Chain A
């Protein structure tokens, strides 16, 4: 008798667990899909996303605030900065050449931490791509990425080499 009781109990308990499972899937069915239709919709990365390094665009001056102190180049463990700086007419030191090699960069955040004028930041760009390492290196990450820069009329320089990049000092 007890066996018979257990037999039916097992069936009912099993059936109930099945129904619980089906309830879960039904609830999920009416949730919003988490998938993003990528080329049509794009996600914005969070603030602490570490993309390639770029200059901060200060609204006040309309430019970056690099003073050519070479601290980022010194802090960089992978040696990806090539910087030359000179004094301008106003007596302010500004970089005349600021090269950043993305392929060497380990996105370690040290240069951002060390920058005295807070003019370096990680961009939130995640879709920079090129057909060869040379082309990829030629993307001017320092200047182009981030929506703020493009909004100010600074367009992407995809494909254009940055060999001798003249930095205009803030007027």
Chain B
């Protein structure tokens, strides 16, 4: 009986998480198209539903109906495993994100560590996809993805260390509770900027979308994928956007804290504002070159993050 209850609970959680991931991705694709359209003085999707609200549903249905093309000379195991592996960490990360004070599935003491450990797995799926596809462009995209991920993982982690030092816990709930009065973005503005830029690179968003730079290397690591396998990569990219924005909200923007409105509403408002920022940046800046990317990562972000860490440490000690 207990076993059954546990199974039911797990099934419910899985349904909630996967449902939320799907709806979130569909909404984000619509939002991205609308934001880009507004910036470029266009209308964007207008036909399916009110202002094209159901356009992405139609697109998704079409995508699921597409043929799954498997190239001949691929490395079968990594090729077929990569789309699943792209999805898997994003689902796991969702378990620990606290949307309200009691609205979370898991309350881990090492929530931050857990999230970073699993989000670092994302690049493995990119490399497996590129390596398994046996395609020059895929390989180039995968190699770029790995280099980029290596370069930006360090400033990402260094920038959150300041926050961790201030509140002294790795528990996501604890971090949010510590920001009851003042959001950490006021204590750590530089860290927030570094964190935000690094997450853009980590999620392969423009202007750091070198692994899938469509004007240079077709679609990068997912060139050879079609149908639902491609949809998996797409889904994981948009879910990743949500996750890093949620993390930025938790670490810097006070999580669910806010007056008047209920907690989840505040949380989601902040998250979608950050996602809007990402889209705004995407349609403002052109893609940067790989050497510029490396310069930015190694020569600017890492030293700045270290300086920030040093100053934080000194101030905390005083």
Contact = CB atoms under 8 A, between A and B. Distances in A.
Interface of A: 11, 18, 21-22, 24-26, 28-35, 37
Interface of B: 35, 37-43, 46, 280-281, 283-285, 300, 304
Given A25-B280, A28-B39, A29-B39, 13 more contacts: A11-B300, A11-B304, A21-B285, A22-B280, A22-B281, A25-B284, A29-B35, A30-B38, A33-B41, A34-B41, A35-B41, A35-B43, A37-B43
Contacts of A21: 284-285
Contacts of B41: 28, 31-35
A33 B280 contact: no
6 closest A-B pairs (Cβ-Cβ)? A25-B284, A29-B38, A34-B41, A35-B42, A25-B39, A33-B41
Contacts of B39: 25, 28-29
Contacts of B42: 33-35
B318 to A, nearest CB: 23
Contacts of A35: 41-43
Contacts of A22: 280-281, 284
The winner among B41, B284, B300 for most chain A CB atoms within 10 A is: B284
Contacts of A31: 41
Contacts of A28: 38-41
Contacts of B35: 29
Given A11-B300, A29-B38, A18 B43 contact: no
A32 B46 CA distance: 15
A33 B304 CA distance: 40
B285 A33 contact: no
B284 A37 contact: no
The winner among A11, A22, A24, A25 for most chain B CB atoms within 10 A is: A25
A22 B304 CA distance: 23
Contacts of B285: 18, 21
A26 B43 contact: no
A46 to B, nearest CB: 20
B11 to A, nearest CB: 42
Nearest to A27: B39
Contacts of B37: 33
A37 B46 contact: yes
B194 to A, nearest CB: 11
